[in-house]
A = this chain, B = another copy of it.
Amino acid sequence: MKNDHKITLTEKEMPTRWYNIVADMPNKMLPMLHPVTKQPVKPEDMIPLFPLELLKQEVSQERWIEIPEEVQDIYKVWRCTPLHRAYKLERALDTPAKIYYKNESVSPSGSHKPNTAVAQAYYNYKEGVKRLTTETGAGQWGSALSFATQWFGIELQVFMVKVSYEQKPYRKIMMNTWKANVVPSPSNLTEAGRKILATNPDSPGSLGIAISEAVEMAIKDEKSKYSLGSVLNHVLLHQTIIGEEALRQMEKAGDYPDVVIGCFGGGSNFAGISFPFLRDKLTKGKQLRAIAVEPASCPKLTRGIFQYDFGDSVGMTPLIPMYTLGHNFVPASIHAGGLRYHGAGAIVSQLLKDKIIEAQAIDQLETFQAGVLFAQHEGIIPAPETCHAIAAVIREALKAKEEGKKKTILFNFSGHGFFDLAAYEKYFSKQLTNYSVSDEDIKKWTSKLEPLIK
Protein backbone atom coordinates (compact mmCIF):
# COMPACT_ATOMS: atom_id res chain seq x y z
CA MET A 1 0.00 0.00 0.00
CA LYS A 2 1.44 3.29 -1.10
CA ASN A 3 1.58 6.37 1.04
CA ASP A 4 -0.08 8.83 -1.29
CA HIS A 5 -3.82 8.23 -1.23
CA LYS A 6 -4.29 11.55 0.46
CA ILE A 7 -1.61 14.17 0.82
CA THR A 8 -1.94 17.20 3.03
CA LEU A 9 0.28 20.00 4.29
CA THR A 10 1.11 20.94 7.85
CA GLU A 11 0.32 24.51 8.89
CA LYS A 12 4.01 25.37 8.60
CA GLU A 13 4.10 24.17 5.00
CA MET A 14 1.09 26.26 3.94
CA PRO A 15 1.54 28.95 1.27
CA THR A 16 1.34 32.47 2.66
CA ARG A 17 1.18 34.32 -0.68
CA TRP A 18 -1.12 34.36 -3.68
CA TYR A 19 0.50 34.15 -7.10
CA ASN A 20 -0.19 36.85 -9.66
CA ILE A 21 0.47 35.34 -13.09
CA VAL A 22 0.32 38.77 -14.74
CA ALA A 23 3.94 39.29 -13.67
CA ASP A 24 5.02 36.37 -15.85
CA MET A 25 2.73 36.72 -18.88
CA PRO A 26 4.57 37.29 -22.17
CA ASN A 27 1.69 39.53 -23.38
CA LYS A 28 -0.31 41.45 -20.80
CA MET A 29 -4.07 41.81 -21.16
CA LEU A 30 -5.57 44.86 -22.88
CA PRO A 31 -7.06 47.31 -20.39
CA MET A 32 -10.75 47.14 -19.43
CA LEU A 33 -12.77 49.97 -20.96
CA HIS A 34 -15.36 52.23 -19.38
CA PRO A 35 -18.86 51.15 -20.56
CA VAL A 36 -19.80 54.72 -21.57
CA THR A 37 -16.61 56.57 -22.52
CA LYS A 38 -14.90 53.47 -23.95
CA GLN A 39 -11.67 54.76 -22.41
CA PRO A 40 -9.48 52.54 -20.22
CA VAL A 41 -11.07 52.18 -16.80
CA LYS A 42 -9.15 53.80 -13.97
CA PRO A 43 -9.23 52.11 -10.57
CA GLU A 44 -10.96 55.20 -9.13
CA ASP A 45 -13.89 54.66 -11.51
CA MET A 46 -14.63 51.46 -9.62
CA ILE A 47 -14.51 52.84 -6.08
CA PRO A 48 -18.28 52.77 -5.63
CA LEU A 49 -18.15 49.01 -6.22
CA PHE A 50 -14.93 47.65 -4.72
CA PRO A 51 -12.61 48.45 -1.81
CA LEU A 52 -9.26 50.05 -2.72
CA GLU A 53 -7.15 47.06 -1.83
CA LEU A 54 -9.03 44.82 -4.26
CA LEU A 55 -8.76 47.48 -6.97
CA LYS A 56 -5.01 47.57 -6.40
CA GLN A 57 -4.87 43.80 -6.75
CA GLU A 58 -6.98 44.05 -9.91
CA VAL A 59 -4.22 46.04 -11.69
CA SER A 60 -1.20 44.73 -9.80
CA GLN A 61 1.89 43.60 -11.71
CA GLU A 62 3.58 42.16 -8.61
CA ARG A 63 4.33 38.44 -8.76
CA TRP A 64 3.41 37.74 -5.13
CA ILE A 65 0.76 39.18 -2.87
CA GLU A 66 0.83 38.39 0.84
CA ILE A 67 -2.26 36.66 2.23
CA PRO A 68 -3.31 38.67 5.31
CA GLU A 69 -2.92 36.73 8.56
CA GLU A 70 -6.64 37.07 9.30
CA VAL A 71 -7.46 35.43 5.96
CA GLN A 72 -4.91 32.66 6.52
CA ASP A 73 -6.53 32.05 9.89
CA ILE A 74 -9.98 31.52 8.37
CA TYR A 75 -8.53 29.41 5.54
CA LYS A 76 -7.49 26.99 8.30
CA VAL A 77 -11.13 26.13 8.92
CA TRP A 78 -10.91 23.83 5.87
CA ARG A 79 -7.49 24.29 4.26
CA CYS A 80 -5.11 22.70 3.35
CA THR A 81 -7.58 20.77 1.19
CA PRO A 82 -6.53 17.18 0.50
CA LEU A 83 -4.77 16.04 -2.66
CA HIS A 84 -5.97 12.54 -3.51
CA ARG A 85 -4.48 9.98 -5.82
CA ALA A 86 -7.47 8.45 -7.64
CA TYR A 87 -6.16 4.87 -7.56
CA LYS A 88 -9.62 3.37 -7.85
CA LEU A 89 -10.60 5.42 -10.88
CA GLU A 90 -7.27 4.57 -12.53
CA ARG A 91 -7.97 0.88 -11.98
CA ALA A 92 -11.49 1.19 -13.37
CA LEU A 93 -10.13 2.85 -16.52
CA ASP A 94 -7.23 0.38 -16.71
CA THR A 95 -4.96 3.27 -17.63
CA PRO A 96 -1.21 3.72 -17.25
CA ALA A 97 -1.95 7.37 -16.34
CA LYS A 98 -1.68 8.57 -12.74
CA ILE A 99 -4.63 10.72 -11.70
CA TYR A 100 -4.52 13.19 -8.82
CA TYR A 101 -7.28 15.51 -7.67
CA LYS A 102 -7.33 18.50 -5.40
CA ASN A 103 -10.48 18.28 -3.30
CA GLU A 104 -11.98 21.76 -2.88
CA SER A 105 -15.38 20.27 -2.00
CA VAL A 106 -14.41 20.03 1.67
CA SER A 107 -14.90 23.79 2.18
CA PRO A 108 -17.78 25.12 4.31
CA SER A 109 -20.01 25.80 1.32
CA GLY A 110 -18.80 22.83 -0.69
CA SER A 111 -16.67 24.41 -3.42
CA HIS A 112 -13.56 26.51 -4.09
CA LYS A 113 -15.57 29.76 -3.85
CA PRO A 114 -14.76 30.61 -0.20
CA ASN A 115 -11.08 31.12 -1.13
CA THR A 116 -11.94 34.49 -2.64
CA ALA A 117 -15.10 35.15 -0.62
CA VAL A 118 -13.10 35.26 2.62
CA ALA A 119 -10.46 37.53 1.09
CA GLN A 120 -13.04 39.90 -0.39
CA ALA A 121 -15.03 40.08 2.85
CA TYR A 122 -11.81 40.80 4.74
CA TYR A 123 -10.71 43.73 2.56
CA ASN A 124 -14.22 45.21 2.65
CA TYR A 125 -14.26 44.88 6.42
CA LYS A 126 -10.87 46.59 6.71
CA GLU A 127 -12.19 49.55 4.76
CA GLY A 128 -15.30 49.87 6.89
CA VAL A 129 -17.85 48.49 4.45
CA LYS A 130 -21.03 47.59 6.32
CA ARG A 131 -22.89 45.75 3.59
CA LEU A 132 -22.09 43.76 0.48
CA THR A 133 -24.39 42.95 -2.39
CA THR A 134 -24.01 40.07 -4.79
CA GLU A 135 -25.88 37.85 -7.20
CA THR A 136 -25.99 34.09 -7.25
CA GLY A 137 -27.34 31.57 -9.72
CA ALA A 138 -27.38 28.04 -8.37
CA GLY A 139 -26.16 29.35 -5.01
CA GLN A 140 -22.51 28.26 -4.75
CA TRP A 141 -21.15 31.78 -4.77
CA GLY A 142 -23.91 33.22 -2.58
CA SER A 143 -23.36 30.61 0.12
CA ALA A 144 -19.58 31.06 0.05
CA LEU A 145 -19.90 34.82 0.47
CA SER A 146 -22.50 34.37 3.24
CA PHE A 147 -20.05 32.23 5.17
CA ALA A 148 -17.35 34.88 4.69
CA THR A 149 -19.32 38.06 5.46
CA GLN A 150 -20.85 36.76 8.71
CA TRP A 151 -17.30 36.25 9.97
CA PHE A 152 -16.57 39.93 9.69
CA GLY A 153 -19.99 41.14 10.79
CA ILE A 154 -20.79 42.45 7.30
CA GLU A 155 -24.41 42.33 6.17
CA LEU A 156 -25.01 40.54 2.88
CA GLN A 157 -27.79 41.03 0.37
CA VAL A 158 -27.98 38.20 -2.15
CA PHE A 159 -30.03 38.44 -5.33
CA MET A 160 -30.73 34.84 -6.27
CA VAL A 161 -32.03 34.08 -9.75
CA LYS A 162 -35.72 33.40 -9.13
CA VAL A 163 -35.92 30.04 -10.86
CA SER A 164 -33.02 28.74 -8.73
CA TYR A 165 -34.48 30.34 -5.61
CA GLU A 166 -37.56 28.22 -6.10
CA GLN A 167 -35.79 25.04 -7.27
CA LYS A 168 -32.93 24.97 -4.77
CA PRO A 169 -34.31 25.96 -1.36
CA TYR A 170 -31.44 24.25 0.46
CA ARG A 171 -28.88 26.71 -0.87
CA LYS A 172 -31.03 29.58 0.36
CA ILE A 173 -31.33 28.05 3.85
CA MET A 174 -27.56 27.56 3.91
CA MET A 175 -27.14 31.29 3.23
CA ASN A 176 -29.70 32.11 5.95
CA THR A 177 -27.76 29.96 8.41
CA TRP A 178 -24.83 32.25 7.71
CA LYS A 179 -27.07 35.29 8.25
CA ALA A 180 -27.44 36.49 4.65
CA ASN A 181 -30.59 38.13 3.38
CA VAL A 182 -31.68 36.35 0.19
CA VAL A 183 -34.35 37.55 -2.22
CA PRO A 184 -35.47 36.13 -5.52
CA SER A 185 -34.42 38.27 -8.49
CA PRO A 186 -36.04 40.23 -10.13
CA SER A 187 -37.06 41.87 -6.86
CA ASN A 188 -38.82 45.00 -5.72
CA LEU A 189 -35.66 46.23 -4.00
CA THR A 190 -34.19 47.89 -7.10
CA GLU A 191 -35.30 49.97 -10.03
CA ALA A 192 -33.94 47.37 -12.43
CA GLY A 193 -35.97 44.69 -10.69
CA ARG A 194 -39.16 46.74 -10.47
CA LYS A 195 -38.95 47.63 -14.17
CA ILE A 196 -38.75 43.99 -15.17
CA LEU A 197 -41.52 42.94 -12.80
CA ALA A 198 -43.77 45.67 -14.19
CA THR A 199 -43.43 44.23 -17.69
CA ASN A 200 -43.28 40.60 -16.68
CA PRO A 201 -44.43 39.75 -13.13
CA ASP A 202 -43.58 36.07 -13.74
CA SER A 203 -40.03 36.64 -14.96
CA PRO A 204 -37.87 33.63 -13.93
CA GLY A 205 -34.88 35.97 -13.64
CA SER A 206 -31.36 35.55 -15.03
CA LEU A 207 -27.81 36.04 -13.82
CA GLY A 208 -27.66 39.22 -15.91
CA ILE A 209 -30.68 40.72 -14.14
CA ALA A 210 -29.40 39.69 -10.72
CA ILE A 211 -26.02 41.36 -11.41
CA SER A 212 -27.82 44.56 -12.42
CA GLU A 213 -29.79 44.53 -9.16
CA ALA A 214 -26.73 43.90 -6.98
CA VAL A 215 -24.66 46.56 -8.76
CA GLU A 216 -27.47 49.12 -8.61
CA MET A 217 -27.94 48.64 -4.88
CA ALA A 218 -24.20 48.95 -4.20
CA ILE A 219 -23.94 52.16 -6.23
CA LYS A 220 -26.98 53.78 -4.60
CA ASP A 221 -26.04 52.95 -1.01
CA GLU A 222 -22.86 54.57 0.27
CA LYS A 223 -22.36 51.92 2.92
CA SER A 224 -22.55 49.06 0.44
CA LYS A 225 -20.10 47.63 -2.04
CA TYR A 226 -20.43 44.84 -4.57
CA SER A 227 -18.73 41.47 -4.76
CA LEU A 228 -18.16 39.15 -7.73
CA GLY A 229 -17.26 35.46 -7.57
CA SER A 230 -15.24 34.93 -10.76
CA VAL A 231 -13.86 36.57 -13.95
CA LEU A 232 -11.97 39.51 -12.34
CA ASN A 233 -8.21 39.42 -11.84
CA HIS A 234 -8.34 39.69 -8.05
CA VAL A 235 -10.75 36.76 -7.86
CA LEU A 236 -8.44 34.55 -9.92
CA LEU A 237 -5.53 35.71 -7.77
CA HIS A 238 -7.18 34.53 -4.53
CA GLN A 239 -7.90 31.13 -6.02
CA THR A 240 -4.20 30.46 -6.63
CA ILE A 241 -4.05 29.19 -3.04
CA ILE A 242 -5.37 25.95 -4.60
CA GLY A 243 -2.47 25.49 -6.99
CA GLU A 244 0.15 26.75 -4.54
CA GLU A 245 -0.91 24.04 -2.11
CA ALA A 246 -1.11 21.47 -4.92
CA LEU A 247 2.45 22.28 -6.05
CA ARG A 248 3.76 21.45 -2.58
CA GLN A 249 1.52 18.39 -2.28
CA MET A 250 2.65 17.00 -5.64
CA GLU A 251 6.22 17.50 -4.50
CA LYS A 252 5.43 15.50 -1.35
CA ALA A 253 3.97 12.79 -3.59
CA GLY A 254 7.25 12.86 -5.55
CA ASP A 255 5.37 13.66 -8.72
CA TYR A 256 4.64 16.50 -11.18
CA PRO A 257 1.71 16.81 -13.58
CA ASP A 258 1.98 16.59 -17.36
CA VAL A 259 -1.58 17.87 -17.64
CA VAL A 260 -3.59 20.15 -15.32
CA ILE A 261 -7.37 20.26 -15.83
CA GLY A 262 -10.17 22.44 -14.47
CA CYS A 263 -13.74 23.16 -15.50
CA PHE A 264 -14.39 26.64 -16.79
CA GLY A 265 -17.19 29.16 -16.07
CA GLY A 266 -15.57 32.56 -15.58
CA GLY A 267 -12.13 31.08 -14.97
CA SER A 268 -11.53 31.17 -11.23
CA ASN A 269 -11.22 27.49 -10.33
CA PHE A 270 -9.25 26.74 -13.50
CA ALA A 271 -6.89 29.64 -12.74
CA GLY A 272 -6.63 28.53 -9.13
CA ILE A 273 -5.34 25.07 -9.90
CA SER A 274 -3.30 25.88 -13.04
CA PHE A 275 -1.56 29.25 -12.62
CA PRO A 276 1.04 28.14 -10.05
CA PHE A 277 2.03 25.29 -12.37
CA LEU A 278 2.00 27.59 -15.39
CA ARG A 279 4.61 29.69 -13.58
CA ASP A 280 7.01 26.78 -14.06
CA LYS A 281 6.08 26.71 -17.74
CA LEU A 282 6.49 30.48 -18.24
CA THR A 283 9.62 30.99 -16.18
CA LYS A 284 11.42 27.63 -16.31
CA GLY A 285 10.27 26.22 -19.63
CA LYS A 286 8.61 23.26 -17.94
CA GLN A 287 6.49 21.12 -20.29
CA LEU A 288 2.88 21.31 -19.15
CA ARG A 289 -0.57 21.28 -20.71
CA ALA A 290 -3.34 23.19 -18.93
CA ILE A 291 -6.84 22.38 -20.17
CA ALA A 292 -9.91 24.51 -19.45
CA VAL A 293 -13.11 22.50 -19.89
CA GLU A 294 -16.35 24.23 -20.87
CA PRO A 295 -19.82 22.91 -21.73
CA ALA A 296 -20.44 22.27 -25.44
CA SER A 297 -23.61 24.33 -24.96
CA CYS A 298 -21.66 27.43 -23.90
CA PRO A 299 -18.44 27.24 -25.94
CA LYS A 300 -16.90 30.68 -25.53
CA LEU A 301 -13.32 29.42 -25.37
CA THR A 302 -13.49 26.98 -28.26
CA ARG A 303 -15.93 28.78 -30.56
CA GLY A 304 -16.34 32.35 -29.24
CA ILE A 305 -14.42 35.37 -30.47
CA PHE A 306 -11.70 37.36 -28.72
CA GLN A 307 -13.20 40.81 -28.32
CA TYR A 308 -14.25 43.54 -25.91
CA ASP A 309 -17.60 42.69 -24.31
CA PHE A 310 -19.64 43.47 -21.23
CA GLY A 311 -19.43 41.24 -18.17
CA ASP A 312 -23.19 41.33 -17.63
CA SER A 313 -26.20 41.07 -19.93
CA VAL A 314 -27.46 44.59 -19.34
CA GLY A 315 -24.24 46.42 -20.19
CA MET A 316 -23.48 48.10 -16.85
CA THR A 317 -20.00 46.64 -16.29
CA PRO A 318 -16.73 47.71 -17.92
CA LEU A 319 -15.87 46.18 -21.27
CA ILE A 320 -13.54 43.24 -20.79
CA PRO A 321 -11.06 41.97 -23.42
CA MET A 322 -12.08 38.34 -23.56
CA TYR A 323 -13.34 35.27 -25.39
CA THR A 324 -17.07 35.71 -25.58
CA LEU A 325 -20.25 34.47 -27.19
CA GLY A 326 -21.77 37.94 -26.83
CA HIS A 327 -23.37 39.28 -23.68
CA ASN A 328 -26.84 38.48 -24.98
CA PHE A 329 -26.08 34.84 -25.68
CA VAL A 330 -28.42 32.68 -23.61
CA PRO A 331 -26.89 29.28 -22.82
CA ALA A 332 -29.13 26.20 -22.68
CA SER A 333 -30.36 25.12 -19.25
CA ILE A 334 -27.67 22.59 -18.50
CA HIS A 335 -27.26 21.57 -14.87
CA ALA A 336 -23.76 22.97 -14.58
CA GLY A 337 -25.17 26.41 -13.76
CA GLY A 338 -21.75 27.70 -12.77
CA LEU A 339 -20.48 27.24 -16.33
CA ARG A 340 -23.35 29.07 -18.04
CA TYR A 341 -21.46 32.31 -18.62
CA HIS A 342 -21.01 34.01 -21.98
CA GLY A 343 -17.50 35.33 -21.33
CA ALA A 344 -14.20 34.55 -19.62
CA GLY A 345 -11.71 36.34 -17.40
CA ALA A 346 -9.27 38.67 -19.21
CA ILE A 347 -6.14 36.88 -18.01
CA VAL A 348 -7.32 33.44 -19.02
CA SER A 349 -8.50 34.79 -22.38
CA GLN A 350 -5.08 36.28 -23.08
CA LEU A 351 -3.34 33.04 -22.11
CA LEU A 352 -5.60 31.10 -24.45
CA LYS A 353 -5.00 33.56 -27.29
CA ASP A 354 -1.26 33.10 -26.74
CA LYS A 355 -1.68 29.29 -26.77
CA ILE A 356 -0.23 28.96 -23.27
CA ILE A 357 -3.36 27.08 -22.23
CA GLU A 358 -5.86 24.90 -24.14
CA ALA A 359 -9.63 24.57 -24.08
CA GLN A 360 -12.07 21.70 -24.66
CA ALA A 361 -15.86 21.68 -24.90
CA ILE A 362 -17.74 18.59 -23.66
CA ASP A 363 -21.37 17.56 -23.96
CA GLN A 364 -23.63 17.26 -20.91
CA LEU A 365 -24.24 13.50 -21.15
CA GLU A 366 -20.54 12.66 -21.30
CA THR A 367 -19.96 14.79 -18.21
CA PHE A 368 -22.62 13.02 -16.14
CA GLN A 369 -21.37 9.63 -17.27
CA ALA A 370 -17.94 10.68 -16.03
CA GLY A 371 -19.34 12.00 -12.74
CA VAL A 372 -21.18 8.76 -11.98
CA LEU A 373 -18.07 6.68 -12.72
CA PHE A 374 -16.09 8.92 -10.39
CA ALA A 375 -18.70 8.70 -7.60
CA GLN A 376 -18.78 4.92 -7.87
CA HIS A 377 -15.01 4.54 -7.65
CA GLU A 378 -13.75 7.47 -5.61
CA GLY A 379 -16.78 7.79 -3.33
CA ILE A 380 -17.48 11.52 -3.78
CA ILE A 381 -20.42 12.75 -5.84
CA PRO A 382 -19.21 15.66 -7.98
CA ALA A 383 -21.06 18.86 -8.84
CA PRO A 384 -22.19 19.01 -12.49
CA GLU A 385 -19.52 21.66 -13.10
CA THR A 386 -16.82 19.37 -11.73
CA CYS A 387 -18.10 16.54 -13.96
CA HIS A 388 -16.75 18.53 -16.92
CA ALA A 389 -13.22 18.38 -15.56
CA ILE A 390 -13.61 14.67 -14.82
CA ALA A 391 -14.81 13.95 -18.36
CA ALA A 392 -11.68 15.60 -19.75
CA VAL A 393 -9.51 13.65 -17.31
CA ILE A 394 -11.07 10.39 -18.47
CA ARG A 395 -10.41 11.32 -22.12
CA GLU A 396 -6.75 11.95 -21.30
CA ALA A 397 -6.46 8.76 -19.27
CA LEU A 398 -7.98 6.65 -22.05
CA LYS A 399 -5.72 8.30 -24.63
CA ALA A 400 -2.73 7.38 -22.46
CA LYS A 401 -3.98 3.79 -22.46
CA GLU A 402 -4.40 3.74 -26.25
CA GLU A 403 -0.93 5.17 -26.73
CA GLY A 404 0.56 3.01 -23.98
CA LYS A 405 2.06 6.14 -22.44
CA LYS A 406 2.63 7.04 -18.82
CA LYS A 407 1.22 10.41 -17.90
CA THR A 408 0.42 12.33 -14.70
CA ILE A 409 -2.90 14.16 -14.64
CA LEU A 410 -3.98 16.64 -11.97
CA PHE A 411 -7.45 18.14 -11.80
CA ASN A 412 -9.42 20.39 -9.53
CA PHE A 413 -12.39 18.75 -7.84
CA SER A 414 -14.12 22.11 -7.57
CA GLY A 415 -17.27 21.12 -5.67
CA HIS A 416 -19.55 18.33 -4.43
CA GLY A 417 -22.93 17.53 -5.93
CA PHE A 418 -24.98 17.10 -2.74
CA PHE A 419 -27.33 19.87 -3.83
CA ASP A 420 -27.45 18.65 -7.42
CA LEU A 421 -28.79 15.16 -6.93
CA ALA A 422 -31.99 16.03 -8.78
CA ALA A 423 -29.80 16.45 -11.88
CA TYR A 424 -28.35 12.98 -11.33
CA GLU A 425 -31.83 11.56 -11.06
CA LYS A 426 -32.71 13.11 -14.42
CA TYR A 427 -29.55 11.60 -15.88
CA PHE A 428 -30.45 8.14 -14.56
CA SER A 429 -33.99 8.38 -15.89
CA LYS A 430 -32.68 9.53 -19.30
CA GLN A 431 -34.31 12.94 -19.12
CA LEU A 432 -31.07 14.80 -19.83
CA THR A 433 -29.90 15.68 -23.30
CA ASN A 434 -27.01 17.38 -25.07
CA TYR A 435 -27.44 20.86 -26.55
CA SER A 436 -25.73 21.92 -29.74
CA VAL A 437 -25.01 25.51 -30.68
CA SER A 438 -25.08 26.43 -34.36
CA ASP A 439 -22.47 28.63 -36.00
CA GLU A 440 -25.31 30.95 -37.00
CA ASP A 441 -26.33 31.38 -33.38
CA ILE A 442 -22.84 32.31 -32.35
CA LYS A 443 -22.49 34.70 -35.27
CA LYS A 444 -25.81 36.30 -34.40
CA TRP A 445 -24.66 37.43 -30.96
CA THR A 446 -20.97 38.03 -31.57
CA SER A 447 -21.45 40.03 -34.79
CA LYS A 448 -23.18 42.71 -32.73
CA LEU A 449 -19.93 43.28 -30.88
CA GLU A 450 -17.91 44.50 -33.87
CA PRO A 451 -18.03 48.24 -33.10
CA LEU A 452 -16.45 47.62 -29.75
CA ILE A 453 -13.17 46.17 -31.04
CA LYS A 454 -10.05 48.11 -30.06
A76: which B residues are within 8 A, CB to CB? 1, 5-6
The verdict on A273 contacting chain B, using a C-beta distance below 8 Å, is: no
Instruction: Identify which of A94-102, A292-300, A321-329, A422-430 touches chain B.
Output: A422-430
Interface residues of A in 156-195 (CB under 8 A from B): 169-170, 173-174, 176-179
Complex Cα–Cα for A147 and B173 (A): 27
Contact B422 A169 (CB under 8 A): yes
When distances are taken between beta carbons in the complex, the residues of chain B under 8 Å from A174 are: 381, 421
Q: Are B177 and A376 in contact, with the CB atoms below 8 A?
A: yes
- Whether the pair A12, B6 counts as a contact (CB closer than 8 A) is no
A64 is an interface residue with CB less than 8 A from chain B? no
Binary interface encoding of chain A residues 387-420 relative to chain B, with 1 for a CB under 8 A from any of its CBs, else 0 = 0000000000000000000000000000000110
Cβ B177 vs Cβ A108 within 8 A:
no
Cβ of A376 and Cβ of B173 under 8 Å apart?
Answer: no
A361-380 vs B, CB cutoff 8 Å, 1 = contact: the mask equals 00000000000100110111
CA distance A80 to B5 in the complex (A): 10
**Min C-beta distance of A100 to chain B, whole Å:** 14
- Residues in B neighbouring A431, C-beta threshold 8 A: none
User: Is B1 a contact partner of A177 (Cβ separation < 8 A)?
Assistant: no
In contact, A10 and B1 (Cβ under 8 angstroms): no
User: Which A residues, 75 to 93, have Cβ-Cβ distances below 8 Å to chain B?
Assistant: 76-78, 80, 88
A169→B425 CA distance, assembly (Å): 9
CB–CB A379/B176 < 8 A:
no
Contact A77 B378 (CB under 8 A): yes
CB-based contact A418/B419 at 8 Å: yes
Among A12, A107, A376, chain B packs the most CB atoms within 10 A around the CB of A376
Q: A150-B376, A425-B169 are in contact. Are A77 and B88 (CB under 8 A)?
A: yes
* A1 interface neighbour in B72, B106, B378, B379, Cβ under 8 Å: B72
Chain B positions within 8 Å of A150 at CB level: 376
- Residue in chain B with minimal CB distance to A425: B173
Q: Which residues from chain B contact A78 at a C-beta distance below 8 Å?
A: 379
Contact A173 B421, beta carbon cutoff 8 Å? yes
* B contact residues around A77 at 8 Å (CB): 5, 88, 378-379
Bound-state Cα–Cα, A380 to B76, Å: 13
Can you name 19 extra interface pairs (CB under 8 A) apart from A77-B379, A173-B424?
A1-B11, A2-B11, A3-B12, A5-B11, A6-B80, A77-B88, A78-B379, A106-B106, A108-B379, A147-B379, A169-B422, A170-B421, A170-B422, A173-B425, A173-B428, A174-B421, A176-B424, A176-B428, A418-B419
| Sampled A-B contacts (14; CB under 8 Å) | A1-B11, A2-B11, A5-B11, A5-B77, A6-B80, A8-B8, A77-B379, A108-B379, A110-B418, A169-B421, A173-B422, A176-B425, A177-B375, A178-B376
